[in-house]
Structure 1
């Protein structure tokens, strides 16, 4: 049978109250609305990042395609310029000059086709660059919003941590000098029973589980030695008896 001074048992309620406040702070820390917002924002950032990478890749590919198209046009134009220069010089046999004329016509058609390809690539590149600018702007805006939420989260964390530090200091004072076996039992029950290891007996009700106890059990508890550590028959937690209030 566990025993502890009645005064220590009553002081245990102060420790429980402080532990409950610490648990509440820990719960708030885990359930800050900023955390849920960050999860949502991170999902959006991931989606936009994917779109950004895709858009950048498309723009890069089109720039390379445009460079090639421009080079193709330039190559044909240079060839046509050389042929025209030879034709204008009049050098060569009539057959050669006639062949140059035919080649210039073919080169003209080829250059026209290549310029259409170049124009098409330029138009597609322009559209993709516009889309990239929009995605980049959206991504940057979302990143700024996320940074702001991170600041809000960190500020909330700091405030909660400050409160928790103060309460832990109060708890250290509250638990100082308490019966070691009583504290050990309390800590064990707290770990097993959702953070509550002790509660007051008020009337016939256990303040831990909020249940009314059997009148016979209540009577036996009231008659137990003052230093006996009694447990709630319903929830198993330490049941702290408070001095009877005088009836008016």
Structure 2
């Protein structure tokens, strides 16, 4: 009898092992793993379900509503800042208008008192009369200037109020769009999560019928090999790495017992043989 070939980690037998390598010094060697052909084929069903779960996770993460909501939230943040600024400006103008109106009122009252003194005839000194008349004229000019200030502040306040009302509407509009996008996202979540639950349950049923040691190897390889731990050998090509087996590798696979778990020499995934393997 010939010397048995060394095995790779978790039961993989290298198809092209260099001569002279000893089992006890090869860190990738492990005892041979065997499983019924039907169990190996069921592993492909588990793999298909795992691929579907990965697709669903990616779909959930990359829903267009995520980017839409993020963009809308940025717009909303900017609009709210502008909204607060407009509200602050309107409040400032309101205070400024009140102060200007109070100033006008004070000047008007003072002018009214001076005019009352002038009309009463209580002031008889020509010089005092001249000073009083001059003050009344100055107060009239001052009142006119302050009334112009009031009008200017009122215009700015009206503009700030219009801006505030406009931004109030825009904020409400964007909030409505966010609510709509959030509702669509949540509906998509519900649909995806429902399918995830269904696929997960189906996986549990099928995986429960796969031998534990085979499933353990599969899960370990799937974690290492981008989510794919088992691949079909189809027409002499590994569907995991999409590479065709050379003649030496094919002969090794042909010589393997039906229940022997073989692995791809190129990607190290479990290589599942079917009637379409081209052997």
1:191 to 223, 237, 261: 223
Structure-1 separation of matches of 2:106 and 2:251: 107
For residues 1-248 of structure 1, the aligned pairs below 5 Å read 1-94=32-125, 95-243=127-275
How many residues are paired up?
247
Q: Is the 8 A contact 2:79 2:171 kept in 1?
A: yes
**Cα gap change, 1:230 to 1:173, in 2 (>3 Å):** same
**Cα gap change, 1:111 to 1:238, in 2 (>3 Å):** same
Tell me, which stretches of 5 or more residues in structure 2 are unaligned? 1-31
Structure-1 separation of matches of 2:189 and 2:243: 35
Q: Is the 8 A contact 1:222 1:241 kept in 2?
A: no
Tell me, which stretches of 5 or more residues in structure 1 are unaligned? none
Kindly indicate which of the two structures has a greater share of residues assigned to helix: 1
Alpha-carbon distance, 1:88 to partner:
2.3
Alpha-carbon distance, 1:190 to partner:
1.3
Structure-1 separation of matches of 2:109 and 2:244: 101
Structure-1 separation of matches of 2:151 and 2:140: 16
Structure-1 separation of matches of 2:268 and 2:276: 22
Q: Is the 8 A contact 1:204 1:215 kept in 2?
A: no
**Cα gap change, 1:182 to 1:97, in 2 (>3 Å):** same
* Paired residue secondary structure (2:271): strand
Q: Is the 8 A contact 1:5 1:179 kept in 2?
A: no
Structure-1 separation of matches of 2:258 and 2:144: 106
* CA RMSD across the alignment: 1.9
Q: Is the 8 A contact 1:2 1:229 kept in 2?
A: yes
* Paired residue secondary structure (1:195): coil
**Cα gap change, 1:132 to 1:245, in 2 (>3 Å):** closer
Question: Higher relative contact order by CA 8 Å / sep ≥ 6: 1 or 2?
Answer: 1
Q: Which moved more, 1:168-177 or 1:87-96?
A: 87-96
Q: Is the 8 A contact 1:201 1:207 kept in 2?
A: yes
Structure-2 separation of matches of 1:88 and 1:246: 123
TM (norm. structure 2) is: 0.83
* Paired residue secondary structure (1:188): helix
Structure-2 separation of matches of 1:191 and 1:146: 37
Alpha-carbon distance, 1:228 to partner:
2.1
